[in-house]
Amino acid sequence: MTKTIPVLPIENQEESLNGRVYLVTGATGGLGQAVSLQLAKLGATIILSGRNDDKLNQIYDRIEQSGHPTPAIISFDLEQTDEDIYKQFANSIYSEFNKLDGIVHCACQLGVIGPMDSQDGSLWLQTQQVNVNAAAILSKVCLPLLQQARDASITFVSDSSARQSKAYWGSYGVSKVAVESLSAILADELENTNTVSNVYIPGPCILPIRKKTHPGEKNSTLDTAHHIAKKLVNCIISEKSGSCFS
């Protein structure tokens, strides 16, 4: 098991991300959007990846209009299983930027929240593919590029509720436990390299997926996506592998 990393307020960090390039999957989601904007605000160039071109263009425009480094868009469907297609994705990054400083795996499929006998088989497999398998394959094909950076990071996102292996969390819960294991395995393998592997475990926060898993919950008790994204950035730029809780 990897060590716990304290998540410090972003204001305490003086490190500039100018010149760095980060790939954010699921950039059209609540957390994906927020962390893309936060990284861009700190000077990083963001590669926005997702399936919805209209939403990707909206985030692109927000970043560009704010005067931050011009981002890039790579539309990509993580339900694909052919590794060669993932290699083409990595080659596109190399051709455009000739570098990659980090991957932030924000893409997420919820699946069915309910008892096992309500789980649809095809949706179960889809959830594992998007949340775990695609993240593993994408990390693998991008490793050669990441290891050319001075220091690089691979950051996964878990879920403080789903990871507890309680009833009814179904394929989503299984995927989050698997993602934490994947991150720990990578952290161990990459221990003596320039690349760290972290998993960020946010607490209750105002995100679209939270509204689906906890309907009726009052927003006044929750962190905002902006606040969570600032903490996630500290996990992304950590110099050590581990688990980041907030």
**Cα(195)–Cα(150) distance, rounded to whole angstroms?**
9
Number of helices followed by number of strands (H, E) in the chain: 8, 8
CB atoms within 10 A of CB 63: 21
Catalytic residue from among 22, 60, 86, 172: 172
Is 22 in the active site? no
Q: Write the DSSP string, 130-160.
A: IIIIHHHHHHHHHHHHHTTSSSEEEEEE--T
CB 163 within 8 A of CB 156: no
Q: What separation in angstroms does the CA of 140 have from each of 66, 84, 118, 137, 181?
A: 33, 12, 33, 5, 15
- As annotated, the active-site residues are 172
